[in-house]
């Protein structure tokens, strides 16, 4: 029981030191246990390593459009993300219809994504979604969730100390599966939907027609049905819930788009 108490105390200290933060744009409160600065430093190191080990695209058209779109959307979120050094890199891998973002503003786009891109607004759909993950601090929430899951597993393991090994293994396996299917998956889907919603507003404010996002995600879905399932989509929300939410946010997004259009 001593170990269990220590684990709970450790968690309490983490929660008290960092605790809950409000997501800009949606006002949802979120659990963040890790100091953001530590996460940013880790991500910067990881991204630097990726740049060293993965081939970077020399396609000048891809690079120019990613920089152009990335800068515009980063500019929209500058009040929420002051002192962020955004970095947009195109990685050479035609098989990956994929993109990612890390805490601290490192965004990677794979060349495979360009097979679906016809205009800047298409790219803006993906880049704004990725930037939204960063602004909403989804990375920190995922790490915090992993810490809680690990602590839950630890507590369960310790309380089963006297049970025989077979029972214990079975319970741990069930708990592991339950943690993945019951908690982790819906949680990250809710992050995906939140990133869709925030991203739609960002792209509109940056001067890209938000209706283009519907066209883009439809194309992505057709690609998925054709059997080319990008990893990008594996944790993404079901197509229908994604489209439904985008449509329900569209009126707001179009108002934002109309407000900036004369300026751009
Ligand atoms: Zn996402």
The most confident of 45-59, 197-211, 236-250, by mean pLDDT: 197-211
Q: Which residue spans within 26-146 are E strands per DSSP?
A: 29-31, 87-91, 99-102, 106-110
For the residues 226-247, what does the mean pLDDT come to?
69
Cα of 182 vs centre of ligand 1, distance in Å, is: 19
Q: State the distance from the centre of ligand 1 to the C-alpha of 61, rounded, in angstroms.
A: 24
Element (H, E) at 186: helix 185-205
Q: Is 106 helix (H, G, I), strand (E, B) or coil?
A: strand
> Is the pLDDT reported for residue 162 higher than 70?
no
Quick check: 177 pLDDT over 60?
Answer: no
| Banded pLDDT at 45 (limits 50, 70, 90) | confident
Q: Where does the pLDDT of residue 239 fall: very low under 50, low under 70, confident under 90, or very high at 90 and above?
A: confident
Q: If you search the block for the tokens 């090994």, which residue do you land on?
A: 165
pLDDT in tens, 113-151: 999 999 999 999 999 999 999 999 887 777 777 777 766
Q: How far is the CA of 213 from the centre of ligand 1 (A)?
A: 14
Radius of gyration, CA atoms only, the chain: 20
Tokens 């407000």, residue located: 259
- What are the domain boundaries of the chain? 8-263
Catalytic residue among 130, 192, 194, 256: 130
Whole-structure pTM value: 0.78
User: Which residues, by Cβ under 5 Å, contact ligand 1, an ion?
Assistant: 192, 195
For position 255, what pLDDT does the model report?
Answer: 97
Å from CA of 12 to ligand 1 middle: 30
Compute CA 210 distance to the chain's CA centroid, rounded to the nearest angstrom.
19
Q: How many CA atoms lie within 13 Å of 222's alpha carbon, on the beta-carbon side?
A: 8
pLDDT of residue 186: 42
Q: Confirm whether 194 is a catalytic residue.
A: no
Mean pLDDT of 49-53: 89
The mean pLDDT value of the chain amounts to: 80
CA distance 20 to 14: 11
| Ligand 1 geometric centre to CA of 43 (Å) | 17
DSSP-assigned beta bridge partners for residue 88: 107
Whether the predicted pLDDT of 263 surpasses 70: no
| The pLDDT of residue 206 is above 70 | yes
Q: Averaged over 71-77, what is the pLDDT? A: 97
């Amino acid at each position: 029981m001593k170990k269990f108490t220590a684990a709970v105390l450790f968690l309490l200290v983490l929660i008290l030191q960092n605790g809950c933060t409000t997501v800009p744009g949606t006002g949802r409160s979120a659990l963040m246990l890790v100091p953001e600065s530590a996460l940013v430093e880790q991500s910067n190191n990881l991204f630097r390593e990726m740049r060293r080990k993965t081939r970077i695209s020399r396609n000048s058209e891809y690079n120019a459009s990613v920089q152009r779109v990335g800068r515009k959307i980063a500019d929209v979120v500058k009040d929420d993300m002051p002192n962020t050094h955004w970095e947009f890199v195109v990685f050479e891998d035609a098989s990956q219809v994929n993109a990612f973002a890390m805490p601290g503003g490192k965004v990677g786009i794979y060349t495979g994504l360009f097979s679906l891109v016809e205009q800047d607004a298409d790219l803006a759909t993906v880049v704004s979604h990725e930037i939204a993950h960063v602004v909403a601090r989804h990375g920190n929430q995922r790490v915090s969730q992993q810490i809680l899951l690990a602590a839950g597993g630890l507590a369960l393991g310790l309380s089963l100390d006297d049970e025989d090994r077979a029972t214990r293994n079975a319970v741990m396996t069930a708990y592991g599966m339950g943690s993945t299917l019951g908690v982790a998956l819906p949680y990250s889907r809710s992050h995906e939907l939140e990133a869709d919603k925030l991203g739609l507003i960002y792209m509109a404010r940056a001067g890209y027609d938000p209706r283009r996002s519907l066209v883009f995600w439809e194309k992505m879905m057709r690609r998925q049905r054709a059997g080319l399932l990008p990893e990008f989509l594996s944790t993404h929300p079901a197509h229908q819930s994604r489209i439904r939410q985008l449509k329900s946010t569209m009126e707001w997004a179009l108002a934002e788009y109309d407000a900036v259009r004369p300026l751009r």
